[in-house]
Amino acid sequence: MPASKEPADIPLAPGDWDYIEEGTENVIISYHGSEPDLQGWVLRLTKCDASAEIDLESHEALLFRDKELQRKQDALEFAARVIGPIVGDKYVLPQRLAKTSAEFLIQVRENIESQRPRNRLSKSIDARQSASLLTKEMISRTPADSTQGAHAVTVELKPKCMALPRSKFLAPESSVKHRVCWYCRHQYTLHKDGNVSQFCPLELFSGDRKRIATALEHFAQSPHNNFVVFVDGRSVVDEEGKLSDKCVPHWSELRDAVAGIVQKESLFSRLQLIQRELDSFNIESVLPMYQHALETGALATEEPRIDAWLNAYSEFRRRLDSGSSDLSAVSDCQAVLELMLATTLRDVSALIKFDSWPARGATGTGTLEHSSYSIGIVDHDPKKVSNIPKYYRLDQNIVATYLQHNPDKAYQRPCRE
């Protein structure tokens, strides 16, 4: 059942919250106070431009506050009614809204500033939000059972790509997309020196235990922000920026345990299946449909509300369940929203939390493969439709840069599903 959309009035003390991590849009803080209602939860606080001078009492700030609340209420419903049915309800972490005052937000902002990474400081916590999302905690500072100096370990996987596009609408010069996945092509845009990762996310979705374990080892060699291991609440890497035994206790056992979980949990195969089907049109044919829908007024310039997403998802589901591959009757708006759902799924992170992970040198660790864990996904808010032109430019740039480095088809390394 979806959580209540009305923000709960829970007393929040700034000193009870610790910095955990942040992405482009949100800062995550975790609770260590004594309020039972908050234990085991994290707060996701939205960010804004740090240099913006905001008058909290202005008319604009009030309007923004209402809109932001509506967006978060929609996100809550989106998670329960769109993401839940796609991946399975058990993989959507419990969420609820709590009221957050400007005083609380400003104080938290000050408290955590020194712990934030330098490259994230151009944005800071937005003091205008009147409510923030509380989510079940998956990255913990303390293990459930701390005997023998055990650790709290969480693995975050952000594969960014789940399938090769099967779209019939790709331009001939983009045919490489059918052979080399988005992630592997994108490496050449990210690493201009050609020092690209050996990791291919499709291996992670192969369902084959050995291929998954090899993929995780490749991933560990160049993890960046796509593969993070948190030990007692802090992300760790060794001095070469890799994941290894030097920074993670029992690293190879952890890698193998994660490989077993990825193979066993239906989350990954469901994500792959639906992401592939939702990407039927691909960004190349959606861009003109997006422009046409805006011109005719079929698509508003405002971002879609929850009803539009729910309708788009039911229509997609009906088509999928009927087994029809006829896309001729699909409207411009529908194609736009399906692509954005595919893009949203591509960007989710899977979090695997081990309740208690043994310390280095601990004895009796032979059964680590069957350690108890919980799993869920985060970062599943719907992507902004207005970003379609930006996504298109990025897509074209990635293809062009890849082909510059790999002009000869015979030498392109194909990705395997």
Interface positions with Zn ion (CB under 5 A): 181, 184, 200, 415
> At which residue do the structure tokens 């805006």 appear?
294
Centre a 10 Å sphere on the Cβ of residue 204 and count the other Cβ atoms it contains: 28
CB of 83 to Zn ion, least distance (A): 24
**153 or 181, CB closer to Zn ion?**
181
- DSSP characters for 351-407? EEEEEEEPPTT-S--TTGGG--EEEEEE--SPPPGGGHHHHHHHHHHHHHHHHHH--
CB of 352 to Zn ion, least distance (A): 22
**246 or 413, CB closer to Zn ion?**
413
Q: Tokens representing 132? A: 């923030």
Q: Which residues pair with 98 in a beta bridge?
A: 8, 132
CB of 348 to Zn ion, least distance (A): 18
**377 or 415, CB closer to Zn ion?**
415
CA dist., res. 40 & res. 245, Å (int): 28
Contact 377, 351 (CB under 8 A): yes
**307 or 417, CB closer to Zn ion?**
417
CB of 403 to Zn ion, least distance (A): 15
- DSSP characters for 178-229? GTS-HHHHHHHHH-TTS------HHHHTS--HHHHHHHHHHHHHS-TTTEEE
CB of 199 to Zn ion, least distance (A): 8
CB of 388 to Zn ion, least distance (A): 24
**15 or 414, CB closer to Zn ion?**
414
CB of 280 to Zn ion, least distance (A): 20
CA dist., res. 153 & res. 144, Å (int): 10
**219 or 230, CB closer to Zn ion?**
219
**200 or 345, CB closer to Zn ion?**
200
CB of 214 to Zn ion, least distance (A): 13
φ/ψ of residue 314, rounded to 5: -65, -40
CA dist., res. 140 & res. 234, Å (int): 9
Q: Name the pairing type of β-strands 41-49 and 95-99.
A: unpaired
**184 or 341, CB closer to Zn ion?**
184
CA dist., res. 167 & res. 357, Å (int): 43
298 Cβ contact list (under 8 Å, min separation 6): 292, 331, 332, 333
> What is the three-class DSSP state of 296?
helix
